[in-house]
Chain A
Amino acid sequence: MQKWRKGDPNAIEQLVCKYQGRIYNLILKICSNPDDAAELTQDTFVKVIENIGKFESRSGFYTWAFRIAVNLTLNYRKRKATVGFTSLDAELAAGDEQVRQGLAAILSDDKAPDPAQIAENRELCELIQKGIRKLDDEHRAIIVLRDIEGMDYAQIAEVLGTELGTVKSRLSRARAALRQILEAL
């Protein structure tokens, strides 16, 4: 960051290489489309670079960049919804029955799930991702920020520009909705 601020031309590449993974995944989880995610990632970095002078080091770079990324993505989703967003219901209906049973087992099992086991099960991951996609944008964003990116409530409040209490209640509703969606699969 310091190199970029001092005008090092190679710093752009270093900046992008360092942060693009998390930003791309954040956007991809919210918008659910790799092409859109790639484009929105580019737009996010351009905005980051153009507004680098406004970045205050007291807030973490990720918090600042995530706020830009989430705002761009949610605005993009809103614009796309007005011209006819494709529902995911049809895709969910086509899920594999065996995968569905595996998901139900995890949800009902008293034992804690094994993350490695889930990650290795590509179909199960796909089903969970489909469940996440079924959430509305606000719920999806807060789930991704907390459960995938691991941000604390204060950071989430900063990224979303909301109060801490709103984060608590929204996250609670989002998880409840996701649980219901996954149970229904």
Chain B
Amino acid sequence: MNFEQNPKIEELLNSYIDDELSADERSEVQRLVRENHTIAQRLRQLERCKAMVNSLPPAEPPAEVVAGIKELIRSRSAGAVASEIEKQRGTRHLFIRQALAASIIIGLVGIMGAVVYKIVGPEETALPIVAVNPAPAIKPEVIPVETKKAVAVAAAEDTTSIGLYSLQLQTADFAAVDAYVNKLLEESPWLRYEATKDQPGKSAYRILCSTAGLESLMNDLATVWSKFDSTTLIVRTDNIGQYVTVASVKPEQIADIARQNTTDGRVKLANDFAILNSVEQIMPDEKMLAATDRPMPELTTIPKPVLTSGDKNAATAPKGAWDQVQVDLNIVVTGHK
């Protein structure tokens, strides 16, 4: 038999000696071996050849293999660590460059925004806008310097004078209301005032009086307060050019603010009134009862206004009206345009 021409028989014999045949295949091989002497001889050759190879003694690995493996792992790990460090360094460098570029871009955008705002934005107002105060920023009306010079120089030089700055009142019935205010000031000898009426539908009064005199004046103005559509008090702060605006201000609130001994006290109370008034506008039915009926340390205690009689004699000077001139207030009454 030529095994080179029948490779499948040789494969079968190899599988037989390797015990890789099924029972049927083994039986078939055993039958072939019994019947064919050449196949039997080849089977024995294969078995001997396999046995010879299998008899080869194993070689002993050199002792330095373990040390070599450890060294290889150490060097590769060090290389990997160095590579990782380089990678991180590169990443960090890239991050710094990106952050720098982002900062420059943000800065440029900010500058461009400022330039654009300067061009198209609204005109700057000298008044600060209290965040919770919904009233629009109103430019304080200032009595002309010439008029100021004409009145109460003593008050202007008085270092203790309270600069409430401006009370701006807007009414639809300008003529009647202004006439009332004008008459009220004329009949209040405990205060000094200067009236400026250089524009139709607008009257400006600079008033110099004591806190008690201002309280009396506010009580008198309260009788026509409902005639005003808008009442805004602008209070000066210690910082030049900074003001607190109290919208929907009430006469008693003005008296209370004026009664504070320090600018800080006046500013703080003005801020509190601004907040209270804005909340009242949002929730007109709630008023501020819930907030004021129970003691809340974080809220400013609002002193009750001292109301005076509505039919008091205007010519009667309130107690202490002339003790010292303390209040310097501009009252501006305007009608609707």
A contact residues vs B (CB 8 Å cutoff): 12-13, 16-17, 20-21, 24-25, 28-29, 34, 38-39, 41-43, 45-46, 49-50, 106-107, 109-110, 112-113, 115-116, 118-119, 125, 128-129, 132, 143, 146-148, 150, 152-153, 168-169, 171-173, 175-176, 178-179, 182
Contacts and interface: CB of A to CB of B under 8 A. Distances in A.
Given A109-B48, A128-B52, 4 more contacts: A25-B61, A115-B54, A116-B55, A179-B49
Nearest to B20: A153
B56 A128 contact: yes
Interface stretch (B65-73, B82-90, B105-113, B303-311): B65-73
B56 A125 contact: yes
A125 B55 contact: yes
B53 A132 contact: yes
A88 B212 CA distance: 126
Interface string B244-277: 0000000000000000000000000000000000
Interface string B199-239: 00000000000000000000000000000000000000000
Contact of B45 (A43, A146, A172, A179): A179
Counting chain A CB atoms within 10 Å of each CB, which of B46, B51, B57, B69 scores highest?
Answer: B69
Contact of B61 (A38, A115, A146, A172): A38
B241 interface: no
Contacts, number: 121
Interface in B24-42: none
B10 interface: yes
B73 A20 contact: no
A147 B53 contact: yes
A25 B58 contact: yes
A24 B65 CA distance: 9
Chain B contact residues, majority secondary structure? helix
13 contacts: A20-B66, A38-B62, A39-B68, A41-B65, A42-B69, A42-B72, A45-B65, A46-B69, A46-B76, A50-B76, A148-B56, A172-B10, A176-B3
- Cβ-closest 9 pairs across A and B: A24-B61, A118-B55, A115-B55, A147-B53, A172-B11, A42-B68, A45-B69, A172-B14, A25-B58
Interface string B169-183: 000000000000000
A20 B15 contact: no
Contacts of A115: 51, 54-55
Contacts of B58: 21, 25
A29 B47 CA distance: 20
